[in-house]
Amino acid sequence: MVGQLLQPERPAQPATLSYESSLFGKTGKLSTTLPTGESFTGPYVLDPTAPDKTITSTLSGNRGNSLVCRLTLTEPGIGPDGGGAVKCDLSTGGAFDARF
């Protein structure tokens, strides 16, 4: 998922959020290394019976920060493979936005 990192008083920077789905797509892992050099990783869980199209995941950084990501799915039962949008909020301020 290629998007951009927006931080206060800094120009937007390109960033990529990756995901790995489990065999049946109900769980997986999100990861990214931001332009700041900090790497983040965390699990996600998809509830295919949930009526909404949102997955929320908290990623832990290797420098002690966190990244809370909300994925809005195009197809709720499919997971990230079906496309959508993501917005992540960085604990130190700033956000990552992308469409996939």
**SS3 readout for the chain:** CEEEEECCCCCCEEEEEEEEECCCCCEEEEEEECCCCCEEEEEEECCCCCCCCEEEEEEEECCCCEEEEEEEECCCCCCHHHCEEEEEEECCCCEEEEEC
**Tokens coding 56:** 């929320």
Please say if the pLDDT value at position 83 is more than 70. yes
What percentage of the chain carries pLDDT values higher than 70? 96
- pLDDT tens digits along 15-56: 999 999 887 767 899 999 999 899 999 999 887 677 778 889
> How confident is the model at residue 62, as a pLDDT?
98
pTM, whole model, 2 decimals? 0.88
